[in-house]
Structure 1
Amino acid sequence: MKIGIIGATGKAGSAVFQESVTRGHDTVAIVRDQARATEVLGDQAPVLKRDAFALTAEDLAGFDVVVDAFGTSPDQAQKHVDLARHLVECAGPKQPRLVFILGAGSLVTGEDRHLFIEEIRKAPGAEAWISIPEQQLQELAYLRTIEHVKWVGASPQATFAPGRASKPMIGVDELLLAADGKSHTTTGTMAVALLDEIEQPRHHNTRFTVGDA
């Protein structure tokens, strides 16, 4: 398959890029900064030098799958929703499947099944970065209204950090706990889960969640 990865030089995107390459897919980094792509992914990495918001329907038509691993600063968090809208508007029924890396705030936890975003808001210093999980929550809400475009979203657990892959634990909407009793997902585990889903689709126009086992 030909897989395009937006944000391929980021922590999550680079892990997805490497996993895709390892599995033998025709993998293209969709990035604004060619030099940064060379630094992170190597000088042999295929690159489409393009701002994600400048992608066109013609650009997307060249891929079987496009992964949105876009990341931004808290003051520009609204761009998570804006980019999802842009990709959906460029896509269509015969366009590539869109794969979104979402946030953990939309997961439910506790006996009352409250949204995890409620706990994130109470974290020390959260006011400095809470806009990102809040906008990722809005991104999922938007995607759930979309029926005419093929898409899937994946949420990590409470902690999402660089690390080697473990066997992915797959859920639906619940916050998951690993064997150590904590809720976490490495970028490596997320990459494995996404490529498994890309190769053998099990979720259609919905969100699933990925945790370290």
Structure 2
Amino acid sequence: MKIGIIGATGKAGSALYERAVERGHETVAIVRDPAKAREMLGTDVRVIERDVFAITGGDLAGLDAVVNAFGTTPDLAHQHVELAQHLVEQTAGIEEAEQPRLAFVLGAGSLITGEDQHLFVEDIRQVPGAEAWMAIPENQLKQLEYLRTVGGVEWVGASPQATFAPGPATVPVIGGDELLVASDGQSHTTTGTMAVALLDEIENPQHRNRRIAVGDA
């Protein structure tokens, strides 16, 4: 398969890129800094050099899937929503036979938890110092809310659990809208687990135009 990865030099994107290559996919890193991509991902990395908001339908046409693993700073967190809108608009303009499936690495804040089924973003607000970076989970929630209004373009979103950190893959546990707990009683997802889950979904689509939760076993 032909897979493009936006943010391929980031935490989630680099794990996705490496796993996709291991699985034999024709993988392209869509990045602003080709030198950084070659340093991190190898000198033979295939690159499309683009600012994310300069990505066009022509860049995406013919790819089987495009994974948005874009990350940004709290002051630019609104770009999570704006980039989702941009990718949907560009994809919608491609002939149907050439349209890629869009896959989004989302946040955990939009998951629900507790007996009262509240959004996990409310728990995140209680973390000491969270006000400094709270804009990120808030805008990732808005990103999902936007995607749920989208028709005419096929997408899937994947939310990690309370802790999302670099690490090797476990067997992914796939859920719906609720926060998951691993066998150790904690809620966590490694970047390796997320990569496996998203690539499994890309290779064998099971969830169309919806969000899934991805947790470690």
Give the structure-2-normalised TM-score: 0.97
- Matched with 2:25 is 25
AA paired with 1:112?
D
1:202 and 2:209 matched: no
In the alignment of these two chains, the number of paired residues is 213
Distance 1:52 1:25 in 2: 22
Question: 4+ runs of 1 displaced by more than 2 Å?
Answer: none
- Matched with 2:80 is 80
- Matched with 1:69 is 69
**Residues 11-160 of structure 1: matches in 2 within 5 Å?**
11-92=11-92, 93-94=96-97, 95-160=99-164
SS across alignment from 1:177? coil
AA paired with 1:125?
G
TM-align CA RMSD:
0.6
Give the structure-1-normalised TM-score: 0.99
Q: Deviations over 1:119-138 (max 9, x none)?
A: 00010100000000000000
AA paired with 1:142?
Y
Distance 1:7 1:199 in 2: 20
Q: Deviations over 1:151-209 (max 9, x none)?
A: 00000000000000001000000100001100000000000000000000000000001
Q: Which moved more, 1:52-61 or 1:138-147?
A: 52-61
Q: Percent identity?
A: 69
- Matched with 2:4 is 4
Distance 1:78 1:179 in 2: 35
Shift of 1:62: 2.9
AA paired with 2:36?
R
AA paired with 1:134?
E
Structure 1 residue runs of 5 or longer lacking an equivalent are none
AA paired with 2:80?
H
SS across alignment from 1:207? strand
